[in-house]
Each structure stands twice: as C-alpha cells, then as structure tokens.
C-alpha cells in the first residue's frame, strides 16, 4: 500500500501546480480584503508553504483541492463582511484558529515526509505503513476543518441578520463618535501652559516662525504621541513675541478622522468671533443668509481665505495625520506676502515633509532632570517633600522614559494618594500597569491610536518588536532578516525583500513608533516601554507571541511565537506548555545550552520552528539540526568556543539566514563546504572566522540567492567555490586571510571576485600574515581593478599607506585599521579617490612612530565624513580646496595632535567637529575657539590627559 502511495505521489506532483497557483491567488486576495492582519498573514503564509513544499505533498492532492475550496469560501465571507462594515472579532478569531490548524497539519506532514525520504530503501519499506497512516490522518483533519469552516460561515450569516434587524451598526458608529469626543477632551486635560523642558524647544520654534521671508511658510513639530507636541505648540501660540508679531491667530484640531467642514467652522470661530451669532441671528425678521448649515464647503473655504487674505496670520493645525487632509485645506491659507505662518503638529514625518520643504522639528523626550521637575510640580505643587520619597519617586519617573504625558498621568495618580513610603511602594514596579488602565489617557492617546492607524502591512512588524526584553537595543540587520524569514514582507516585486523590510522600519520610525538608538553607527533601534507593552498585549490577544519570564512561567499558553526571558533550564523544569505549534523561538535568558537535556527538549518540542534565536548561551556544538525542516532563520550567540557546525545543517533547505556569534572572535568555526545544498540561503554571517571543510570538487551548483558571507577564511575550499562562480549574486563578502593561506590563494580569489558584478561591499581581515613575511601591498595589489566596489574595509593594514597603493576607483566608504604610519604618497592615493564620501582611519591601540598628515590642495573632493582614531599624528596640514565638501569631523584619541588646520574652519559645508580624548593644548585651544558658519563643536576631555 505504501508503494502505491509513493507511485501516486510521483504522478500527482505535476497536477498540483494549477491547484497551488489557484490557491496562492485566493490567499493573496484574502490578504487584500481581510480586516484582521493576523488572519491575513496566516492565510498568505499558508499559500506560500503549500507552493514551496509541493514536492513533499504526495498523496494529498484531493485534500489540497478541498482546502482550496474552503479558502475560496473564506474569501467570499470576508469580502461580504467588508461591505457590511466589518466582521465580528469572534468570527475573525475562529477563522484564525482554523488557518493555524491548517498550517500545523501541512507543516507536520511535510516534516515527517522529509524525514521519511532521507531513509534508505529498507527504512522506507519498514516505515511504509506509517506513511499510509499519516495520509489518512491528514485527510481526517482536513475534513474536520471543512466542517468547522461551514459552521463559522453559518453562524456568521445568522450574526449579520441579527445585527441588521437591530440596526447595531448605527449605534456602534455613534458610540465611536462619542469615544472620539471623549478622547479629545481627555487630551486637552493634560495640556500644560508651562510644562518643563520646552524652554529651548519653544525658542527654536518661535525663531523658525518669526524668521524667514515674506512668503507664507509652514513649520512642523513631530514626535511620539504624548510627547507634548500640542503643549509646545500652545506655548508658542500664547507667547508674547508671537502675539505681538501676528495680526490674527487661529487654532484648529484635526485628529486622525479629519472632518473638513468642522475644521473650517473651527477656524471661522477664531477669525470671525461673531460668525455663529450672525448665522443664528435674524435681520428684519428674515433668517441671515449666512446660515452655516446651508453653506457649502467651498463657501466656508472662501470665508476663511477672505478673513486671512489681508492680515498677517498664524494658524496652528494640530494633530495632522494624513497628507490628503492637508491637501483638502491648504488652499484656505493664502500666501499673502505678509510673512504669515502655519504651524503643524503630527506624529508622522511623511506628513510634515508633505506640508513643507523645510525639515520638521523633532521633539525629544524629557531628560531625567526635566522629568523629575515636572513630576514634582504636579505632585507636590511647590511644597517640600519627604526625603524618603525621592528615591521611590525617581524610580517611578524613570519608568516613564521621558514621556510627558506618562509623567503627568502618574503624578495625577500619586497626587491624591497618601505621600508615604508605604503607599508609593505599592506603585513601584507596576507603573506601566497604572498608566495603561482604562481610565487613563495614555492607552488611547499614545498607544491604540498610533497602532490602529498603521497600514495592515506594518502591524505584524510593529508587534514583533515586543519579543525583545525591556530596554533592549535591537540590532537592525537581524531584525529585518527576521521579518523576511517570518513572511511579513509581501509583494516585493523585483525588489530585494531586505530593502523592503528596511523601508518598513523607516516608516515605523517616521511614525514615531520606533526610535533610533544613539551611537556611532545608528544600527540599533528601540521602542518606548509603553509601546512595547502594547505590542505584548495585542500579541497575546491575537496569539502572535508570548513573553515568558520568571513571573509567568507557570501560566499555560499556546502561542505561535515564544520569547523566553528567563533561564532555559528553569523554564524546562517548570513549564508544561504545549510547544507543538511554536513557529518562532527566542531565548534571551543566558544559560548553559550545551547539555543533552536542553538539546533533546529543543529537537523534540520545536520540530515546526521557522525562526530560532539562541543567546547568549554556553554552546560548543550543534546536533540534531536535520529535524528542523522548516527552519528559515538561525541565530546563535555563543559565549563559549563554538567551533563546529555539523553537516546535518545541509538538510535544512528552507534556511534563508544563518547568523553565528562566537565570544572569541579569532576562534574558527568549521562549516561544511557543500553549502550549495542550501538553495534558499541569502545570508551566512558570523562574528568569527568561518572555515569551510570537505571536498568541493564534484559540484558546479550555484547559490543564486546568497547575498552576504562573513567572515570567510581564505583556504582551498573557499577559493575553489569562488573560482567556480558558486555565488553569482553576491553583494557583500568579508574575507579572513590567515597565516595558513597559500601564497597565491588570496590573489586568485580576488581575481575571481572581480567577475562578481553585484559585489559592492568588500571587507578584508589580515590575520598574522607578517609571520610569513608578506605585506598587504603584495596581497592586495589587484584591488584597484574592482570597479564595482563602493564600500571597502581593510583591517590590519599596518604599512599599506606608506606607498602608492591603488584602491577601487569607485569606492565611497573606506575604513582602514591598525595603521602604523601614513606618508604623503599614501595620503595622496586616498585624496585622489574622486567618489570617496566617508573615510575612517584607525591606528593601533599601542602608540607607534609619530608622523604628519598632509592633505594637498584639491584632495578629497567629495569627502563628507572624516574620522581619525588612535593615530600617532603630530601635525595635520590641509591645502586650499582640500576636503571642500567636509561636513563632519571626528577625532578620537589622537593625543599627539595639538592643533587643527586653520583652513578647516573656512569650509562652508562643515557642520560638526567632535574631538575626544585630545591633548591638553588641543583642549585649551578649542575651548576658547569661536566658530563661524554655525559649526557645532563637541569637545570631550580626557581627564587623565589634562592632569
């Protein structure tokens, strides 16, 4: 019987194609119309799963066709629901659960078939009856899903009929309108005329408003909800300088549901104080012709324009959410050549940029001092407070993370409590819970409003940010790769999904839902604690993911994604949760994961996992990887000597991203050379050298999807793969050249890489090459032939810049480290790079021989950012016209340098100079320097140097 099923499989794979294609179209259409983003994602992913694993779905042709028909019914159901003002949460949740079940059935079937196919012929014969039972089990489960979907559809029809009879939709609309009005009132209640922290902000906004030409100008303030944009705008609006400057002022509140007519009437109340009276009044026994109910929008617009045309005006358009709302009303603000201004507040950068070409004003969070001052003003109202409350108060204020609205609500809560250590201790540790209770404004103003207004495609990406621990700095690149692996990035067309994911992240940043972490690279992001709590609560409701800590480890859950923030050993011994449906697992609690118990638990309970992140963990090797058939993303942060990746990883043909980290960067990680078997692999990255092992002479297969490799040790296997053109679409590669390399391997490898037309980023690490008496110039002499390289990093260059060395001609970013010395010849080679925009030069941590830096006239014509660190530099000369486009200069720990060239300060584009850990003479000189052209000078002293 199993043989018949196998034969049936081979003959039916081709017939699956039209079924699969039709199902994909159905599921994508469902995705386009579904009201619930979680349900739409599951269905869309289900269609992708069926398509990609079609070769393993033998024997279930009829059941796939049956499932297709049921999905068609869901499609019709949701299309009908949309026309009838939405579908009940109950029905959506039921459909979601069925979709999850369908996903589980297919995932489990594929995993078992994949293991079956890896068996020998004898093994298949012995397990043949098990395959038959598996087919029967799938058929039975599909039939049960069909029955469930029929019941959902029938119940939904009854619900719609009952709703239509009782006219519930109108009542719901009225309730929603009352809620919006109540929210508006709550929002006004938290405004403060003299809120702390806005002194400098208000001066800046006032300056922007009063300065400029006579043409009408739009000034915008953007920031996260609850950050105080309206408060700041009100402070500016009521300032004496603004009142004296403008002949008339008006304030209009827009909100996320803009009603143009109400907005125009609101403006007329400010501009024509007697407008309503005129509309209601009668003249000679007849009703006035200015009855506002009979005036059209165009007539109202004309009245507003006429009121503003002859006067210098300031209009505040508060809480603007949509570009089209501005397009609806902007023509009522005439450019009357009188220096009139429009001040806009918004959460969205794209809206601010749409209203004006001027950059918006980004409102920042309050500092710790400002937060404490605001808290004290609201709680103690200028009175002295018990000293034993200060520590508790500051701890609670710190939980607000500088968000004024949160501080005001927290202060309002504590102002009416007994001011005692006992009472305040009850609140500490539960601040976010108090802030987001139903009777507070924070939940609606800050959280739900921003989330509800997200496009459907961004909602799962935003919720995903909740899987990370509190105050976690989220690395951008792994985050984007996880989004892609999870299937959040849809309909990319011909674009790279990583690029689309980056666009999504920028959208969340521009919507003030994600903040860029401060740092040199800006490659980390974070979310405010309140927004993180929103991600967690929304995800729990929709079963997107679950966070497990020591506090909730005993609570039974069954999510699709699990993020464990406690020690894994503790979780395993304490939790009895069912993990059979887990698709993503994240382990953030540091633990020893190298024991057999943990690995047995992982391989047994998480067979359907697609995304797996382990770390930081004590790990020496991997085992039983071949069972994770569906794995798309693997990230391991090892705190031990993790040195070996088994060949079983080659069974994971769905893998897209492998990200390995070793606590000892110099320890090599052995990886099987037959990596070409991973057809879908897009990124192979390691923070530590990857050394390929095995025989690669027998295959010429290509890895068409592979884009990045790091850090690849240059050996016989690596050279062979690159010479064969195994990676035709490679965009970035980081090479490690060790003392074990053969003399001609790096030269041959670089010559082969020149054929990679997509390669734009090249990084080379030179390890211990001087042990063989070789020099970087001899190894890297062919780099000048790389016309496609725009980003180049070379580590351990030593004496490379003491001679005329030819770099890639089109390089735009160049980083060189471990520089012993730079001669005029070497500097001229850098200065002649006509497209170079960013240059970083790093010396060794130990102090070497001193030298001078001479940038000749006209050198570095396109350079914008120049960074020097740890260089034994004594003098720096800058010729006329050198670095003419420089914008930012960073000098770090160049202690022998006592002065900067005078020509530097005459550069018209220079905006920022940051000098850290400099000599005492340099510090004294720059401290007394008066800069021109608005250059920002940041001087950070090194106390040891200045003693």
8 Å CB contact between 109 and 57:
yes
pLDDT given at position 285: 46
pLDDT given at position 464: 95
pLDDT given at position 187: 54
pLDDT given at position 869: 95
What is the per-residue pLDDT across 611-665, written as a single tens digit (0 to 9) for each? 999 877 777 667 778 789 899 999 988 777 778 899 999 999 899 999 998 666 6
From the list 689, 668, 601, 678, the residue with the least C-alpha distance to 632 is 678
Identical fold, 212-274+298-362 and 454-541:
no
Measured between alpha carbons, how far is 762 from 793 in angstroms, rounded to an integer? Answer: 6
- Residue 805: phi and psi, rounded to 5, are -115, 135
pLDDT given at position 17: 37
8 Å CB contact between 471 and 588:
no
Cα–Cα distances in angstroms (integers) from residue 495 to residues 276, 460, 490, 498, 499, in the given order: 55, 20, 11, 8, 7
Measured between alpha carbons, how far is 313 from 468 in angstroms, rounded to an integer? Answer: 48
Q: Where are the domains of the chain?
A: 15-158, 212-274+298-362, 377-453, 454-541, 801-806+824-946
Measured between alpha carbons, how far is 557 from 525 in angstroms, rounded to an integer? Answer: 29
Measured between alpha carbons, how far is 767 from 775 in angstroms, rounded to an integer? Answer: 11
Stated as kind and residue range, the H or E segment containing 209 is: helix 199-210
pLDDT given at position 947: 35
List of the chain residues with pLDDT < 70:
1-89, 116, 118-132, 136, 156-197, 274-294, 382, 438-440, 518-522, 590-596, 620-621, 662-665, 742-744, 770-773, 932, 941-947
In the numeric block, which tokens belong to residue 183?
A: 């929210």
Please measure the distance between the N-terminal and C-terminal CA atoms of the chain and give it in whole angstroms. 88
pLDDT given at position 519: 56
Measured between alpha carbons, how far is 946 from 924 in angstroms, rounded to an integer? Answer: 10
Q: Which CATH class is domain 212-274+298-362?
A: alpha beta
Measured between alpha carbons, how far is 676 from 690 in angstroms, rounded to an integer? Answer: 15
Measured between alpha carbons, how far is 51 from 490 in angstroms, rounded to an integer? Answer: 15
Stated as kind and residue range, the H or E segment containing 316 is: strand 313-320
How far is C-alpha 761 from the geometric centre of its chain's CA atoms?
22
In the numeric block, which tokens belong to residue 587?
A: 């382990």
In the numeric block, which tokens belong to residue 281?
A: 């009044």
8 Å CB contact between 365 and 402:
yes
What is the per-residue pLDDT across 499-529, written as a single tens digit (0 to 9) for each? 999 999 999 999 888 988 865 455 899 998 8
Q: C-alpha angle with apex 654: 651 to 659, nearest 5 degrees?
A: 90
What pTM was estimated for this model as a whole? 0.82
Q: Which CATH class is domain 454-541?
A: mainly alpha
């Amino acid at each position: 019987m199993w043989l018949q099923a196998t034969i049936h499989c081979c003959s039916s794979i081709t017939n699956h194609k039209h079924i699969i294609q039709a199902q994909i179209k159905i599921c994508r259409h469902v995705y386009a119309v579904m009201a619930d983003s979680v349900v739409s994602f599951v269905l869309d992913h289900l269609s992708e799963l069926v398509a990609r694993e079609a070769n393993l779905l033998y024997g279930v042709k009829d059941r796939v066709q049956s499932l297709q028909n049921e999905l068609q019914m869901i499609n019709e159901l949701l299309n009908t629901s949309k026309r009838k003002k939405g579908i009940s949460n109950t029905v959506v949740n039921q459909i979601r659960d069925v979709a999850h079940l369908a996903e589980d059935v297919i995932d489990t079937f594929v995993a078992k078939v994949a293991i079956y196919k890896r068996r020998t012929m004898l093994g298949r014969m012995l397990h043949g009856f098990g395959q038959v039972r598996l087919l029967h089990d799938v058929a039975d489960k599909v039939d049960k899903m069909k029955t469930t979907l029929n019941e959902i559809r029938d119940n939904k029809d009854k619900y719609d009929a009952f709703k239509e009879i009782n006219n519930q939709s109108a009542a719901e609309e009225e309730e929603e309108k009352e809620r919006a009005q109540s929210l508006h009132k709550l929002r006004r209640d938290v405004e403060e005329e003299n809120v702390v922290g806005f002194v400098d902000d208000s001066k800046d906004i006032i300056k922007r408003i009063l300065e400029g030409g006579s043409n009408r100008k739009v000034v915008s303030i953007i920031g996260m909800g609850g950050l105080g944009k309206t408060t700041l705008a009100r402070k500016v609006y009521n300032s004496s300088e603004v009142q004296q400057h403008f002949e008339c002022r008006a304030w209009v509140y827009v909100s996320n549901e803009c009603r143009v007519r109400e907005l125009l009437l609101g403006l007329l109340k400010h501009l024509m104080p007697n407008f309503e009276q005129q509309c209601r009044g009668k003249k000679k026994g007849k009703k006035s012709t200015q009855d506002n109910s009979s005036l059209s929008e165009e007539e109202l617009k004309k009245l507003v324009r006429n009121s503003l045309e002859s006067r210098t005006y300031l209009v505040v358009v508060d809480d603007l959410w949509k570009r089209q709302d501005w397009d609806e009303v902007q023509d009522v603000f005439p450019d009357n050549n009188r220096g009139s201004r429009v001040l806009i507040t918004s959460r969205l950068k794209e809206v601010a940029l749409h209203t004006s070409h001027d950059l918006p004003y980004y409102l920042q969070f309050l500092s710790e001092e400002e937060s404490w001052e605001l808290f004290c003003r609201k709680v103690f109202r200028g009175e002295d407070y018990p000293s034993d409350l200060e520590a508790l108060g500051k701890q609670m204020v710190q939980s607000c993370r500088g968000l004024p609205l949160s501080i005001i609500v927290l202060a309002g809560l504590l102002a009416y409590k007994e001011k005692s250590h006992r009472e305040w201790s009850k609140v500490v540790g539960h601040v976010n819970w108090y802030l987001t209770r139903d009777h507070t404004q924070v939940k609606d103003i800050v959280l739900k409003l921003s989330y509800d207004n997200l496009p459907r495609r961004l909602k799962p990406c935003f919720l995903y940010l909740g899987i990370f621990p509190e105050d976690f700095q989220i690395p951008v690149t792994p985050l984007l790769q996880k989004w892609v692996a999870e299937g959040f990035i849809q309909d990319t067309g011909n674009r790279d999904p990583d690029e689309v994911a980056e666009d999504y992240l920028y959208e969340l940043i521009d919507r003030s839902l994600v903040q860029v972490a401060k740092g040199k690279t800006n490659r980390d992001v974070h979310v405010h604690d309140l927004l993180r709590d929103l991600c967690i609560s929304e995800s729990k409701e929709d079963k997107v993911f679950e966070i497990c800590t020591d506090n909730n480890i005993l609570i039974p859950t069954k999510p699709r994604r699990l993020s464990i923030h406690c020690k894994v050993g503790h979780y395993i011994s304490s939790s009895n949760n069912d993990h059979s449906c887990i698709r993503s697992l994240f382990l953030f609690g540091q633990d020893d994961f190298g024991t057999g118990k943990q690995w047995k638990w992982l391989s047994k309970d998480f067979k359907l996992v697609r995304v797996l992140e382990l770390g930081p963990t004590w790990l020496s090797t991997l085992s039983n990887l071949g069972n994770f058939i569906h794995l798309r993303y693997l990230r391991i942060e090892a705190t031990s000597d993790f040195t070996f990746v088994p060949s079983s990883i080659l069974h994971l043909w769905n893998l897209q991203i492998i990200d390995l980290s070793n606590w000892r960067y110099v320890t090599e990680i052995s990886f099987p050379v037959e990596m070409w078997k991973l057809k879908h692999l897009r990124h192979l990255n390691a923070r530590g050298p990857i050394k390929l092992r095995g025989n690669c002479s027998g295959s010429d297969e290509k890895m068409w999807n592979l884009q990045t490799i790091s850090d690849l040790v240059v050996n016989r296997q690596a050279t062979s793969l690159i010479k064969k053109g195994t990676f035709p679409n490679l965009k970035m590669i980081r090479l490690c050249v060790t003392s074990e390399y053969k003399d001609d391997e790096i030269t041959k490898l670089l010559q082969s890489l020149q054929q990679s037309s997509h390669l734009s980023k090249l990084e080379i690490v030179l390890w211990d090459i001087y042990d063989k008496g070789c020099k970087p110039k001899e190894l890297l002499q062919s780099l000048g032939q790389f016309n496609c390289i725009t980003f180049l990093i070379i580590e351990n260059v030593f004496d490379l810049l003491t001679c005329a060395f030819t770099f890639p001609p089109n390089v735009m970013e160049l980083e060189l480290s471990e520089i012993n010395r730079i001669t005029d010849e070497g500097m001229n080679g850098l200065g002649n790079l006509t497209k170079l925009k960013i240059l970083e030069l790093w010396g060794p941590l130990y102090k070497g021989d001193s030298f001078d830096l001479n940038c000749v006239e006209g050198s570095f014509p396109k350079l914008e950012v120049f960074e020097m660190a740890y260089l034994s530099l004594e003098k720096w000369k800058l010729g006329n016209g050198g670095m003419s486009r420089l914008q930012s200069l960073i000098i770090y720990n160049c202690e022998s340098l006592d002065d900067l060239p005078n020509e530097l300060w005459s550069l018209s584009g220079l905006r920022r100079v940051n000098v850290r850990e400099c000599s005492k003479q340099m510090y004294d000189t720059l401290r007394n320097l008066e800069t021109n052209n608005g250059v920002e000078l940041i001087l950070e002293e090194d106390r040891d140097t200045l003693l």
